[in-house]
Amino acid sequence: MLGLKKKNKSSLLSILPEVRGKYLCNEMMSKHTWFGVGGPAEVMYYPEDDDDLSWFLKAKPYNLPICIIGGGSNLLVRDGGIPGVVIKLDSKFYKKWQISEGEITCGAGMRNSQLKKILLENKLGGLEFLTSIPGHLGGAVRTNAGCFGKELKDVLIGATIINGNGEVKNIPAKDLSLSYRHSLFPDDWIITSLTLKVNAQEPEITQKILDEYKQYRMNTQPHNVKTAGSTFKNPEGLRAWELIKKSGCAELEINGAKVSDKHCNFLVNTGNATAADIENLGEEIIKKVKENTSITLEWEVKKMGIAK
């Protein structure tokens, strides 16, 4: 049976393979991004498991555009939406985890924050920094997520991927070429699970670290707002927020897309801003910072899809 929920049926569906997972037509990406913006994905596909995903990738039309999203916490999806198929790993299969000696293997669809309970209940430590970063573990690999002096590459042992031909491969961490908020592996690789280093640690110590990290974020970053975190990468040896402030951008606003009062490198959708408003605000900041400091800021937020 074609695992299908129809909203407004897309003609694309008629050429997609039958899967055990679920297809959704014209699914609004605004429901899947922390910014709360983004037009429709022509088709969204939730694979049931690796076999289902692998079958889909082998049987799909050769030139079908596909992309993968995680928790949407680092995405700016444009208002015209995403043509083709957007894949999201959200079934139970992608949230499974298993601990063995000094390591934990987790499905890529697991939220980073879910690791808190696992660390505490199993007397483990080493991943506290990761639990404080929004999003899913697959996204954390792609972005080499990091904070509090640690990044994913410091704890990653390896990952399982499925490539564009539907082949499953185990890849050691070094071959994913992770660097500051960046990874260098083929665009058609989908991370489906990953193995991370952990160490034995009393829950009281883990909880203390978690509390410190939480408090730091509460004090320094906006919360309960629509944002995608740091908008721009820190240029080598510099801080993006300082450059933004110095360039007179701290109070910039375009139709409800605004520079956060609490952290200049966070852009916030204060209400009904569109993706175009947020992107235009970001580009305005890049222009002003360039004029004032000669430095070109680079987007950390990933832009996807087409303009309206």
Ligand X SMILES: Cc1cc2nc3c(=O)[nH]c(=O)nc-3n(C[C@H](O)[C@H](O)[C@H](O)COP(=O)(O)OP(=O)(O)OC[C@H]3O[C@@H](n4cnc5c(N)ncnc54)[C@H](O)[C@@H]3O)c2cc1C
In the bound complex, what is the minimum distance in angstroms from residue 278's beta carbon to ligand X? 13
230 as an active site residue: the answer is yes
Q: Is 227 in the site for ligand X (CB under 6 A)?
A: yes
* Interface map 155-194 toward ligand X (x if CB under 6 A): --------------------------x--------xx---
224: left (phi over 0), alpha (psi -120 to 50) or beta: left
Q: Residues in contact with ligand X, total (CB under 6 A)?
A: 31
Q: Given candidates 37, 66, 85, 133, which one binds ligand X under the rule CB under 6 A?
A: 133
In the bound complex, what is the minimum distance in angstroms from residue 226's beta carbon to ligand X? 9
Q: Is 228 in the site for ligand X (CB under 6 A)?
A: yes
In the bound complex, what is the minimum distance in angstroms from residue 130's beta carbon to ligand X? 9
In the bound complex, what is the minimum distance in angstroms from residue 135's beta carbon to ligand X? 3
In the bound complex, what is the minimum distance in angstroms from residue 300's beta carbon to ligand X? 7
Dist. CA 80–CA 304, nearest whole Å: 10
| Encoded tokens for 41 | 């994905």
Dist. CA 74–CA 278, nearest whole Å: 13
Q: Given candidates 135, 158, 282, 305, which one binds ligand X under the rule CB under 6 A?
A: 135
The three state secondary structure string of 114-163 is: HHHHHHHHCCEECCHHHHCCCCEHHHHHHCCCEECCEEHHHHEEEEEEEC
Dist. CA 72–CA 77, nearest whole Å: 9
181 as an active site residue: the answer is yes
Positions in 244-303 near ligand X (CB under 6 A): 302
Q: Is 93 in the site for ligand X (CB under 6 A)?
A: no
Q: Given candidates 19, 110, 145, 162, which one binds ligand X under the rule CB under 6 A?
A: 145
Nearer residue to ligand X within complex by CB, 145 or 209? 145
Nearer residue to ligand X within complex by CB, 131 or 274? 131
Q: Locate tokens 């899947």: which residue? A: 32
Query: What does residue 275 show for φ and ψ, rounded to 5 degrees?
Result: -60, -35
91 as an active site residue: the answer is no
Q: Is 68 in the site for ligand X (CB under 6 A)?
A: yes
In the bound complex, what is the minimum distance in angstroms from residue 11's beta carbon to ligand X? 25
Query: From the candidates 20, 103, 113, 181, which is the catalytic residue?
Result: 181
Q: Is 108 in the site for ligand X (CB under 6 A)?
A: yes
Q: Given candidates 22, 30, 34, 289, which one binds ligand X under the rule CB under 6 A?
A: 34
- State how far Cα 250 lies from the chain centre: 25
The binding site for ligand X (CB under 6 A) comprises: 34, 67-75, 89, 108, 133-136, 138-140, 142-143, 145-147, 181, 190-191, 227-229, 302
Q: Which residues are catalytic?
A: 181, 230, 300
